[in-house]
Amino acid sequence: MTATTTPHSAGPAAAGCVTAGTAAADATATDPAASDTPAADLDERIRRNPGAHRILTGDRPTGPLHLGHYFGTLQNRVRLQRLGVELFIVIPDYQVITDRDVADRLAEHTENLVLDYLAIGIDPDRATIFTHSAVPALNQLLLPFLSLVSVAELNRNPTVKDEIAHSRQSAVNGLMLTYPVHQAADILFCKASVVPVGRDQLPHLEITRTVARRFNERYPHPDGTAVFPRPEAMLSAAPLLLGTDGGKMSKSRGNAIPLSADEDTTARLIKGAKTDTERRIGYDPDARPEVSSLVLLAALCQDRAPEAVADEIGDGGSAALKRTVTEAVNDHLRPIRARRAELAADRGYVRQVLRAGADRANSVAEATLDEVRAVMGSA
């Protein structure tokens, strides 16, 4: 629970770390360049000593989780939890209002996320699931953290730039520019050592590492030890699944297959998926991205090689492919959906899970904030 016990707060950072900074002044020996080192090395270190790691990750409450989330990150969370790593899951409700004026159906989206987590196997007795808005001390960390980054650094974050470009708002609000630092507070309040994320989140991890390093340099403990660890990103090993329109599967694009969809809806969504006119089904992501993504989806559900799935369908064309995929998805998700339906019948239980998560997150955040106040010399 303390920074000093995590292996990443000092010393040469291990391979696979994400670099802490883009500015020249940040390029220190302990910050290797952002790398594509596969997760194997980090995985090995976690496996060797799961108790030394704490994982934080999260999902914005803007809609239901879908198959892209499931194979991209959710399954991995369950796997890590089974290895014995402590898991924190933030539902970042304050991040929803970065690119829209009001957070629509926030409580409903939040409860649905919790249902998805529990249904796939996240254990609420071991994991801490909480929202931003329920943990005041976490949010307060944002203030000293903001003082550690320059406006120029905030302005050049590529993920933020991309979100601004795609935003439907006429003006960029202050939270849009500063939320990556808020995300640093999400990660650092519980002194997480590992953050499973998609590639688009790497700039935010970089800011987090920069904030941690600068805070530690500016405000060391009297004995010289660091307050914050420097968390590592864990990139998903799963290949990307495309949405039904051939674009990136996304909550907001209407091209996703939600975990919570019923079997008929799943069949309808897959039936409408983009394919091509070649009869012979193959697995060639570069030449035939849409067909290959469907083959991959069936393969992931059946835990088989995509080539084997494609061979079996052979000359059956898109119709046979879609039948195979629909059956594979519905078979795979059936027990998860059944469990979800059971849990959904008791909303009181979902709210109880969130309350317990908030209690635990609050006590961790308050301890960290106390430590921050102490090293900063607050009265």
Binding site for ligand TRP (CB under 6 A): 56-60, 90, 92, 95, 183, 186-187, 195, 197, 201
- Closest-CA residue to 306 (of 239, 235, 242, 258): 239
* Min separation Cβ 321 and ligand TRP, Å: 30
* Min separation Cβ 192 and ligand TRP, Å: 8
143 token code pair = 């203030």
* Min separation Cβ 86 and ligand TRP, Å: 15
* Min separation Cβ 132 and ligand TRP, Å: 8
293 token code pair = 């993504």
111 token code pair = 């409860």
CB 178 within 8 A of CB 146: yes
Does residue 377 sit in helix, strand or coil? coil
Exposed, middle or buried: residue 51 (CB in 10 Å: 0-12, 13-18, 19+)?
A: exposed
Q: Which is nearer to ligand TRP, 175 or 320 (CB)?
A: 175
Strands of 194-197's sheet in order across? 127-131, 86-91, 54-58, 194-197, 232-235
DSSP labels, 60-112:
-SSS--BHHHIIIIIHHHHHHHHHT-EEEEEE-GGGGGGSSSS-TTHHHHHHH
Q: Nearest 5°: phi and psi at 136?
A: -55, -40
CB 311 within 8 A of CB 323: no
Q: Which is nearer to ligand TRP, 59 or 153 (CB)?
A: 59
Q: Which is nearer to ligand TRP, 208 or 330 (CB)?
A: 208
* Min separation Cβ 135 and ligand TRP, Å: 12
Rg, the chain, Cα only: 22
* Min separation Cβ 151 and ligand TRP, Å: 20
Rounded Cα distance, 231 and 228, in Å: 9
- Closest-CA residue to 329 (of 249, 231, 210): 249
Q: Which is nearer to ligand TRP, 250 or 302 (CB)?
A: 250
Q: Which is nearer to ligand TRP, 201 or 216 (CB)?
A: 201
194 token code pair = 């590992």
* Min separation Cβ 59 and ligand TRP, Å: 6
Rounded Cα distance, 93 and 95, in Å: 5
* Min separation Cβ 99 and ligand TRP, Å: 10
CB 209 within 8 A of CB 19: yes
Q: Which is nearer to ligand TRP, 155 or 252 (CB)?
A: 252
Q: Which is nearer to ligand TRP, 209 or 337 (CB)?
A: 209
Rounded Cα distance, 45 and 30, in Å: 18
* Min separation Cβ 196 and ligand TRP, Å: 8
Distance linking the first and last C-alpha atoms of the chain: 24
